[in-house]
Every structure is written in structure tokens, then in C-alpha cells.
Amino acid sequence: MAVRRPVNMLKTAWIALLALSACFMAVAAAPEDELRQTEKSWAAAVVARDYAGLERIYADQLIYAHSTGAIETKKEYIDRLRTGAQRYDAIDHEKMTVRLYADAAVVHAHVVMKGQSGDRPFNNRLMMLHLWVKQAGRWQLAAHQTTELK
């Protein structure tokens, strides 16, 4: 009968520990990846003028604070998009940080937003803060705040 050496047992234990760690890391990264994708879906819906999609994405009590200081409700903001008073041609994330808190998440990002507000075109590099809340099994945007970066 062969006797296992302690070195082989230690090696097996290390391999098992590494595999278990990889599994935990993959599970932990999944919600962050989901939020990153949700954030990109929001940007795509705004640019595509997908009003039905935005109705689903935005929480009913949305606080939408623009870099200009203007603050709008969900209805006010979507109405401005529908009428063409505000139009986005591109929203590009330069970097993004996601922090999860149970059924809420904060996404901090640097973005470039291009479009038109009223009769004035804009091409702004902004710092953006989003508060996402999980309601009825899906992420909804509850607050949006941007600050213009010089």
C-alpha cells in the first residue's frame, strides 16, 4: 500500500484552495459586471431615444441632476428627450467604478456626452454618479448627478 507524502497532500490542498478562491471571485464579480452592463444599457437607451426602455430603467422617484444645476423628475426628463429639447448623440464611459450595497449600487464614472440642449450643441467630459436600486428583480436608476470636468 502506497503512503501519500505530506508534500502531495499539501499540493492538493493548495490546488483546492485556489479553485475555491477562483469560484468565490467569479461569484463576487458577477453583480459588478451586471451593473457595468446595466450602466452601458442605460447609455445606449438614451442615445437610441428608446423611451420605453428608459421608462423601465428609471425609477419612478428618479432625481436627475444635470451638470448645469437643473434637476428633473423622471417624467420631466423623458419629456425633454421626447420633444427633442435634449438630445444625446453619444455617451462614452472612460472609466467606471462600481460599489454594491445589498439592493443598491453606486456607479461613479468619467463620461463624454455629446448632443444638443435646446439650440446649443454640447461635447462635455463629465464626472457622473448614479445610484441604482434593485426593485422587482431588476436594477433601476434612482439618481443621476453629473459635474463638468475642466
Residue 28: predicted pLDDT: 47
The H helix count followed by the E strand count for the chain is 3, 6
Instruction: Let me know if residue 21 belongs to a domain.
Output: no
pLDDT 10s digits, 68-124:
999 999 999 999 999 999 999 999 999 999 999 999 999 999 999 999 999 999 999
For residue 113, with 0-12 CB atoms within 10 Å meaning exposed, 13-18 middle and 19 or more buried, which class applies?
buried
Structural domain containing residue 97: 29-148
CATH number, domain at 125? 3.10.450.50
Average pLDDT over residues 123-148: 96
Q: How many CB atoms lie within 10 A of CB 70?
A: 13
Instruction: Let me know if residue 139 belongs to a domain.
Output: yes
What is the pLDDT of the chain when averaged over all its residues?
88
pLDDT 10s digits, 17-33:
555 554 444 444 588 99
Q: Number of structural domains, the chain?
A: 1
Instruction: Let me know if residue 142 belongs to a domain.
Output: yes
Closest listed residue to residue 127, CA positions, set 111, 115, 114: 111
Instruction: Let me know if residue 38 belongs to a domain.
Output: yes
Phi, psi of 17 (to 5 degrees): -65, -40
Instruction: Let me know if residue 14 belongs to a domain.
Output: no
Residue 12: predicted pLDDT: 56
Instruction: Let me know if residue 45 belongs to a domain.
Output: yes
Instruction: Let me know if residue 4 belongs to a domain.
Output: no
Instruction: Let me know if residue 23 belongs to a domain.
Output: no
Of 6 and 110, the structure prediction assigns the larger pLDDT to 110
Whether residue 8 is predicted with pLDDT greater than 90 in this model: the reply is no
Dihedral of alpha carbons 38, 41, 46, 47, sign: positive
